[in-house]
């Protein structure tokens, strides 16, 4: 697992099993097309002039379609990739503005699942009234020719491998598990594996923008979706309309810098959770101090490293799954009560609560299958940037800095960052600053105690973008839009509906 960019939002982390909405089915259809984008190369004209045939999805209120894009943009005549698209038309009242494309992050989160289960009902009503809400599963994700790597039982074994190795044998076992994962991806998805980069996904979005009939892209991207949106703005600044980048990534950081920053972000989130927990009489981590709470959690992890505990099913809870269960609850403070109960259960010898949280993180379904989130996440990350570590020795050298960033999570998250070391496809991207000179104002949203995308990343991205405008939410959790702050929602709604960005350095709580 690459923690660097496993950056989910509310819609893709909480209640994940319920997001697997049924795919498109036959039904009534309408056909739409638009003129090609003015600057589209001749070789891409067949893609920019294709027709979208909208069908009933089998989900009330939604339509679905399939669009084609070149598998390899360097060789557009060499074959296509099919991408799944869904929309819910503007509900009114008010004049329709256009299409609003949404992406929940990941990489690997299903944008269509996010749209159908959350965005099309959970985004503020004034926005849904005047925009067609649209999503495309990026290449290699969910309904869009998904990357596949391991079977369900193989994933169960993979997620239970000890990620805090204590000796040479455990280091070898962990390295082997990453190698087997990479080999599985190559064996099952070798054709698509070189072509799932963020740059290619951004180019796909421009084709979709044109097919939807929009002169400029209007977009809300969360978490990794901010990197996707910023990449689009860099490639197509003149076609960049109203972009909201919520829970922003910093594209200028190296892989190790990004991993270490995120490790510190989870420590910040844990400290916030612990401060809340110790005020409660039933806190399983004590009622004295956050330092004591951290010590007790570290002891629980150590106990589980030594001996796993029952969960009520064939899988047992060891340290690796327990750690991911706690990490999962850091994304949203509404999960804190569930986490307190899960920790208390584990302390009493019942691992079911932390296992359920870990399963939500990995998108494991009740029948033992997994969504392709983890496979797509690794495939995109390992293509977008050179590997964080090239081998175990590099991890060992970096351990002190990771453990300084987070005494609670540092060791586990450092070793988890080894997963691209043996990836079968070389990275095609490199970290760099994104300016997107010539783009319309772009709103970058940062949350001060965001665990997965530290606030300083939003500050950095807003400063890099030539037209960036920083909007700050002073609070906990991952991302800010639609999560309860009237101040944040009003600022973003005004921007999406009227084109007026927030005031410079606007802060909300």
Catalytic residues: 223, 450, 478
Q: Facing residues of 506 across strands?
A: 471
Strands 29-32 and 52-56: antiparallel
Please enumerate in sequence order all residues whose Cβ is within 8 A of that of 460, keeping only pairs 6 or more positions apart, or say none.
Answer: 250, 252
- Long-range contacts at 91-97 (CB < 8 A, ≥ 24 apart): 91/128, 91/129, 92/129, 92/130, 93/129, 94/126, 94/129, 94/130, 95/130, 96/130, 96/131, 96/132, 97/130, 97/131, 97/218, 97/497
Dihedral pair phi/psi, residue 435, rounded to 5° = -100, -40
Please enumerate in sequence order all residues whose Cβ is within 8 A of that of 34, keeping only pairs 6 or more positions apart, or say none.
Answer: 210, 211, 212, 213
Sign of CA dihedral 486, 490, 496, 500: negative
Other beta carbons within 10 angstroms of residue 94's beta carbon come to 12
Longest dimension (CA), the chain: 68
Please enumerate in sequence order all residues whose Cβ is within 8 A of that of 261, keeping only pairs 6 or more positions apart, or say none.
Answer: 250, 253, 405, 454, 456, 457
Which run of H or of E encompasses 205? helix 198-211
Residue 194, classed as helix, strand or coil, is helix
H-assigned helices in 406-454: 410-416
Q: Are 327 and 261 in contact (CB under 8 A)?
A: no
Query: Distance (Å, rounded) from C-alpha 195 to C-alpha 69?
Result: 11
- CA distances to 150, 194, 262, 374 from 378, rounded to whole Å, are 12, 12, 16, 6
Q: By C-alpha distance, which of 436, 440, 481 is closest to 461?
A: 436
- CA distances to 64, 135, 258, 468, 492 from 445, rounded to whole Å, are 30, 20, 18, 10, 9
DSSP state of 118: I
DSSP per position, 25-90: ----EEEE--PPPTT--GGGHHHHT--EEEEE-SSTT-EEEEEEEES-TTSTTS-EEEEEEEEE--
Other beta carbons within 10 angstroms of residue 506's beta carbon come to 15
């Amino acid at each position: 697992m690459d923690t660097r960019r496993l950056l989910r939002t509310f819609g893709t982390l909480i209640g994940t099993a319920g997001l697997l909405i049924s795919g498109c089915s036959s039904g009534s259809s309408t056909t739409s097309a638009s003129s090609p984008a003015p600057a589209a190369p001749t070789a891409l004209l067949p893609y920019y002039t294709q027709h979208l045939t909208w069908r009933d999805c089998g989900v009330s209120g939604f339509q679905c379609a399939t669009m084609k894009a070149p598998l390899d943009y360097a060789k557009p005549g060499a074959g296509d990739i099919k991408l799944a698209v869904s929309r819910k038309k503007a509900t009114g009242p008010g004049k329709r503005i256009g299409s609003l494309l949404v992406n929940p992050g990941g990489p690997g989160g299903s944008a269509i699942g996010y749209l159908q289960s959350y965005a099309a009902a959970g985004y503020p009503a004034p926005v849904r009234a005047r925009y067609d809400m649209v999503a495309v599963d990026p290449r290699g994700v969910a309904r869009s020719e998904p990357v596949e790597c391991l079977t369900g039982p193989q994933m169960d074994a993979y997620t239970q491998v000890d990620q805090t190795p204590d000796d040479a044998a455990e280091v070898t076992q962990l390295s082997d598990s990453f190698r087997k994962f990479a080999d599985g991806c190559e064996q099952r998805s070798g054709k698509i594996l070189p072509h799932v980069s963020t740059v290619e996904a951004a180019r796909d979005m421009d084709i979709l923008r044109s097919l939807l009939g929009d002169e400029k892209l209007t977009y809300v991207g969360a978490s990794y979706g901010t990197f996707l949106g910023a990449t689009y703005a860099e490639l197509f600044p003149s076609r960049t309309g109203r972009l909201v980048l919520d829970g922003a990534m910093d594209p200028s950081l190296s892989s190790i810098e990004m991993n270490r920053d995120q490790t510190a972000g989870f420590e910040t989130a844990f400290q916030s959770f612990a401060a809340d927990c110790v005020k409660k009489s039933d806190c399983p981590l004590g009622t004295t101090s956050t330092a004591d709470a951290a010590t007790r959690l570290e002891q629980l992890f150590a106990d589980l490293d030594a001996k796993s505990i029952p969960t009520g099913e064939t899988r047992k809870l060891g340290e690796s799954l327990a750690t991911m269960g706690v990490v999962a609850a850091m994304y949203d403070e509404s999960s804190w009560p569930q986490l307190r109960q899960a920790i208390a259960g584990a302390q009493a010898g019942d691992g079911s609560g932390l296992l359920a949280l870990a399963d939500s993180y990995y998108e494991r379904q009740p029948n033992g299958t997994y969504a392709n989130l983890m496979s797509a996440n690794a495939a995109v990350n390992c293509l977008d940037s050179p590997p964080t570590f090239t081998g175990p020795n590099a991890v060992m050298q970096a351990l002190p800095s990771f453990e300084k960033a987070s005494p609670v999570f540092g060791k586990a998250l450092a070793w988890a960052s080894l997963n691209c070391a043996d990836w079968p496809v070389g990275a095609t991207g490199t970290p760099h600053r994104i300016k997107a000179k010539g783009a319309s104002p772009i709103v970058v949203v940062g949350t001060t105690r965001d665990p997965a995308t530290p606030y300083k990343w939003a500050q950095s991205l807003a400063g890099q973008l030539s037209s960036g405008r920083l909007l700050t939410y002073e609070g906990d959790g991952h991302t800010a839009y639609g999560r309860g702050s009237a101040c944040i929602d009003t600022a973003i709604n005004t921007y999406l509906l009227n084109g007026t960005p927030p005031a410079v350095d606007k802060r909300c709580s």
